[in-house]
Structure 1
């Protein structure tokens, strides 16, 4: 007959054993190799022998008559993640200027994301670019470098220890902006592998980025925030997208890549636009923007004054080609986007004037009419639509 103390001892040992087994299984999952077929997706990149100097920009803007706030995601391959064209040289030179003059706005990294940043660096320079664009990038393994043929520069294949330096090099050679997210709130937490799960301990937070071409947002203010807080100014996000976005991010499987596109109208050709492309409503900073907005008299007055300054011929159609995928080793999510600018005279000459005019008017017709405020349609729409439809 066991004594009560012995029974208690066995109970404690049982609890400890169960906990130890749970920890063992968790650690095993953290280091588990992917299915070989999935792992190959990260390495079997289709070569594209591109003459980048003559490649025109793609027409990326999703012009639709009615604007509905949806994720609008499409599955794609890793081949489609990075797009190159004849604007590469000019944009990379501009990116370098921005990284030098706007360093804190253009790139930051928390310690928890260091492994993920190093992994992205190794994969982009060691695997993706030399395989996808062999006419632009060539591995010189004997020297431990990647030759950027377009710029005649050499990039170390081994990432620098400093994650910000890694991001700066990425931003200096790739005309794409990168944001890395992890399901961790503590910026100094020990890096662990993020696995797809419907029930993460925390929502995904932005822990590292290199963004040279922001469109109406200051990355310093987004750094370290969870998805919902990042999207706080977006009208209707809480009602229309928050739950589905959180669920999609947390469960995105390894080896899957999705893409989407957006559009905006901006005044002038600046690619670095940390402000000016969006209008914030008169809400408290911690309040999620609602789907509808009743403007104040002061807002109406300010919008009318700003509208008088709009010169359609100087406006640009701006569009981002966005992708999302999960890194193979760290499990961090990489949100990447390339920015395109199209002068409105060129849009009109290409026969897309009516489509863009319909899309502009559609901002008021969809499920989130406050989007007409957020996208500044209340300022530019009247003059721009008239211009696009004029003979």
Structure 2
């Protein structure tokens, strides 16, 4: 580019160009001369601008921790307190399945800011189970990369945002204090600046996890453009262990878990999304699974959580055709957003867990779920373990659907629209 610019300038200053200019002046062609000079100047300007863009790519990266910016915590936006007291609120009935073909997509939708964290009457159960898991499993359930200063800052930033958000949204459960917040149900006091709970210092990602019913994960971009799992507290995942995924890039997290269609249908869009997502544009997605035991934290039917054998965990371990009373419906509500100061992308992962026999009593659900399970392709069926429970599950769902038909249940437009409540 520099050589091209130099050549143009030399031509403008050459003797031949000056002769041409004199000739044009003699024939009174000043307008043409001006147009020619303008064209040359525009060419030089274009080359210079193009060179700058090439040397300074515009793709947004995570903020440089060595150059802190004055970013107001997003959670300081004023929130309206929820009209539903957590202690009197049943878990929201997410049923993210529909009639018709099963399409592999990211399934993202816009998240209203006041629904970032959902708390309900299962909070005491989740809180107690989390505390038990932390005490029993320790750092196998929570970790943070120490060599990257962004990671610690991101975990602290998340805690700061929750300390602002929760007392505003759930004033009956959390009270803001001069140093952080208090849990009015459990009596716990959190000092955000000192990073303590009841005076005992803890990792910031662990403190955040104690405040919600969600598992939490923060991913950060590295120089190769990939996002890596570098801070997380995963206590209730059911089917995967943090120790197996920690430190992995986004793509490997999915390929190592044999996520159906990831390479073909999800990887490119997911990578682009992670680079584009902004603090002011959070999103949600839902998924669902079936399992054949009643354990929220870890589904023991697929193997021991402490297994160290290669390939020691999987659906092959599950007992086949267990009675329907052992079938449980598991759905995750995941939120994704960029933390404004550290630049990390934070996941909140809230699990909803209840017996299949319970959701099958809801109007329209057994027929719709049966249709969804039958629509799974071979790869999805293998991933979700249908071979171990499918016959028993579908027989039961078909029976419950027929009962609803005979009762005259009005399925409305949902049966054919492909929509689902979420």
Which of 94, 97, 100 aligns to 2:132? It is: 97
The CA deviation at 1:135 is: 1.2
Q: Distance in 2 between matches of 1:27 and 1:86?
A: 41
SS at match of 2:87: coil
Moved over 4 A (4+): 26-30, 39-42, 161-164, 274-278
The number of residue pairs the alignment matches comes to 323
Relative distance call for 1:29 and 1:43 in structure 2 (3 A) is farther
Provide the residue aligned with 1:131 in structure 2: 168
The CA deviation at 1:70 is: 0.5
SS at match of 2:389: helix
Provide the residue aligned with 2:285 in structure 1: 260
Structure ID, larger Rg: 2
Q: With structure 2 as the length reference, what TM-score do the two structures score?
A: 0.70
Greater mean deviation of Cα atoms: 83-92 or 342-351 = 342-351
Relative distance call for 1:226 and 1:276 in structure 2 (3 A) is farther
**Is the Cα contact below 8 Å between 2:254 and 2:262 reproduced in 1?**
yes
Relative distance call for 1:385 and 1:44 in structure 2 (3 A) is same
**Is the Cα contact below 8 Å between 1:260 and 1:322 reproduced in 2?**
yes
**Is the Cα contact below 8 Å between 1:171 and 1:210 reproduced in 2?**
yes
Provide the residue aligned with 2:187 in structure 1: 152
Question: Which runs of 5 or more residues in structure 1 are unaligned?
Answer: 1-17, 185-199, 279-284, 286-298
Relative distance call for 1:166 and 1:41 in structure 2 (3 A) is closer
**Is the Cα contact below 8 Å between 1:62 and 1:262 reproduced in 2?**
yes
The CA deviation at 1:54 is: 1.6
SS at match of 2:172: coil
Which of 296, 299, 309 aligns to 1:271? It is: 296
Provide the residue aligned with 2:372 in structure 1: 359
Q: Distance in 2 between matches of 1:348 and 1:104?
A: 38
Question: Which runs of 5 or more residues in structure 2 are unaligned?
Answer: 1-51, 57-62, 304-309, 404-422
Provide the residue aligned with 1:182 in structure 2: 220
**Is the Cα contact below 8 Å between 2:216 and 2:232 reproduced in 1?**
yes
**Is the Cα contact below 8 Å between 2:293 and 2:300 reproduced in 1?**
no
Q: With structure 1 as the length reference, what TM-score do the two structures score?
A: 0.76
Q: Distance in 2 between matches of 1:354 and 1:327?
A: 41
SS at match of 1:138: strand
What do residues 277-305 of structure 1 show as CA deviations (whole Å, max 9, x unaligned)?
Answer: 69xxxxxx9xxxxxxxxxxxxx99x69x8
Match status 1:81 vs 2:126: no
**Is the Cα contact below 8 Å between 1:265 and 1:277 reproduced in 2?**
no
Higher helix share: 2
